[in-house]
Amino acid sequence: MMIPRNRLPVLIISSLALLMVLLFACSSDSELENSTDAAASQSDQSVSDAEPEQAKPLGPGKFSDTGKMAYARGWHVTIKLNDGRVIAMAGKSRGGASAWEPSGIADSELYDPATGKWIEAPLMRDIREVPSGNLLNDGRVIIIGGAAVRQKPQTTVEIFDPNSNSWSVAAEMATPRWRHRSVVLNDGRVLVVAGEREDTILVPEAEIYDPETDAWSDAGSLEVKRAMHTATLLNDGRVLVVGGGGRDSKTKVVEIYDPEQNTWSLGAETNLSHSAHTATLLNDGRVLITGGKGKVSKGEVYDPESDTWTDVGEMTEWRAEHAAVLLADGRVLVTGGIGKVDSTDIFDPETNTFSPGPKSAIARYAHSMTLLDDGRILIVGGNSTDVESGDRAITTEVEIWTP
């Protein structure tokens, strides 16, 4: 077929235009593919070169003041209720001719972390110096024994109901005692261990209270009589009792209570003798022991699985009648102690070491510490010692430690 001459230039131009379009399209596809591959390569390189996210280092925290209590108290009990408030109960307070002539009190008061304020709670029936107290499984609070007037140990028991904001009298123990310890067992019953009777006579007997029946039963006797010891509920349901002794003695002997068998057995002895020390259950199931009378500055850790003790080094200074609490991050905060002790230590269970913490506003001992729902720590009362003058006085001062 012959193409007319007058149409030949048009066809040539059209063909050239079509060829240019095709070439441009191929070039664009290639550039787009190369650009996508380059972007993907750059993205992969950025991911591979990125530093792994580092965990935020755990700091020493800081102290701040919060609302004062209405009553000065030391050697008392504080317990966090299920609604997040904290009840402070009983103890010694100012009552003599000077600030350092303590007398027992029956007062209790409630701290609200949301407002930072205290409100007065109802009076207990009995004065109680150095009692023990626990949060029951049903949300009520039990306070046990303690010394009445003229430091006479008693058998009486009272229970606080936060729902009705009232105290009621419970069944009495068989043995009067103070400077004892108590712990809530996994089945909800309460084990009370040892302590001191009249005239500094040590008590070896243990008893168990059943909140459902309001009745006490015998729980055997320890091999070693003791007061100012510790009693810790282990993860397997047994109870570890460490240290303690008399006014001028202390022991290395460790005893373990088995609630299923209602029997006591000996555990491995501690490396050091401890009395007026602390015991803290760690998240891994071990138990940290710190300080004690006799200028003990060391800590040691008990492993229930191997029944062994491990030395974990020294704190900033020796401590007795101090306080320790498990923090929300698994570390342990240790504060105060007899003397002019405003220093603190923080124990790290991952490294088994102590490190210095921040100084508290006042030096104190015979105080309490309670973990709040938001991770802060409430430090309440105690016997305060002025760092400069050395004057002592049971205090109303309350501090907050913030992580």
Task: Using DSSP, state whether 44 is helix, strand or coil.
Answer: helix
331 found inside a domain: yes
**67 or 347, which is more confident:** 347
Q: Are 395 and 384 in contact (CB under 8 A)?
A: yes
Average pLDDT (387-393) is 70
Residue 86 is assigned to a structural domain of this protein: no
In a domain, residue 204? The reply is: no
Report the C-alpha gap between 97 and 236 in whole angstroms. 49
What average pLDDT does the segment 190-204 reach?
94
**130 Rama class: left (phi>0) / alpha (psi -120 to 50) / beta:** left
- Contacts for 267 with CB less than 8 Å, ≥ 6 apart: 240, 254, 255, 256, 302, 307
**pLDDT at 31 > cutoff 80:** no
Query: What length does the chain have?
Result: 403
pLDDT(6) > 80: no
Domain assignment present for residue 261? The answer is: no
pLDDT for residue 267 is more than 80: yes
Determine the pLDDT at residue 10. Answer: 40
Is the residue at 350 inside a domain? yes
Question: Average of pLDDT values for 242-267?
Answer: 96
Which band of pLDDT confidence, cut at 50, 70 and 90, is reported for residue 13? very low
Of 12-26, 100-114, 184-198, 200-214, give the lowest mean pLDDT range: 12-26
- What the block records as the tokens of 325 is 């609490």
The parent domain of residue 322 ranges over 277-403
User: Beta-carbon neighbour count of residue 353 at 10 Å?
Assistant: 14
The CA distance from 366 to 199, in Å, is: 22
In 3D space, the residue among 287, 284, 254 whose CA is nearest the CA of residue 272 turns out to be 254
Decide if pLDDT at 387 tops 60. Answer: no
The backbone torsions φ and ψ at residue 151, rounded to the nearest 5 degrees and listed phi first, read 55, 45
**Residue 15 or 76, more confident:** 76
Find all residues with CB under 8 Å of 212, minimum gap 6, and list them. 188
390 confidence band (pLDDT: 50, 70, 90) = low
Across the chain, how many H-helices and E-strands are there?
1, 33
Residue 400 domain-assigned (yes or no): yes
- How many domains in the chain? 1
398 located within any domain: yes
Residue 158, Cα to own-chain centre: how many angstroms? 24
What single-letter DSSP state applies at residue 129? B
50 φ, ψ (degrees, to nearest 5)? -65, 140
Q: Quick one: which H or E segment has residue 290?
A: strand 287-290
Confidence label for 52 from pLDDT (cuts 50, 70 and 90): very low
Average pLDDT, the chain: 86
Of 201, 178, 202, 200, the residue nearest 192 (C-alpha) = 178
H/E stretch holding 15 reads helix 8-49
Residue 60: which pLDDT band, with cuts at 50, 70 and 90? confident
The answer to whether residue 304 is domain-embedded is: yes
Name the residue with higher pLDDT: 371 or 101: 371
Confidence band of 388 (pLDDT split at 50, 70, 90) = low
Q: Contact at 8 Å (CB) between 42 and 64?
A: no
- Return the pLDDT at 375: 97
Q: Is residue 302 pLDDT above 80, yes or no?
A: yes
Q: Residue 281's domain is classified under what CATH number?
A: 2.120.10.80
The pLDDT of residue 391:
73
Whether residue 340 has pLDDT greater than 90: no
Contacts of 357 (CB under 8 A, 6+ apart): 60, 61, 333, 334, 335, 343, 344, 345, 346
Quick one: average pLDDT of 245-250? 89
pLDDT at 20: 43
Residue 35 pLDDT > 60: no
Instruction: Give 37-48 pLDDT, tens digit per residue.
Output: 433 333 333 333
- What tens digit of pLDDT does each residue of 119-156 get? 999 999 999 999 999 999 999 999 999 999 888 999 99
- More confident site: 103 or 331: 331
The 10s digit of each residue's pLDDT in 66-114 is: 989 999 999 999 999 999 999 999 999 975 444 445 688 999 999 999 9
Task: Determine the average pLDDT of the residues in 343-370.
Answer: 96
User: Residue 2's pLDDT is what?
Assistant: 43
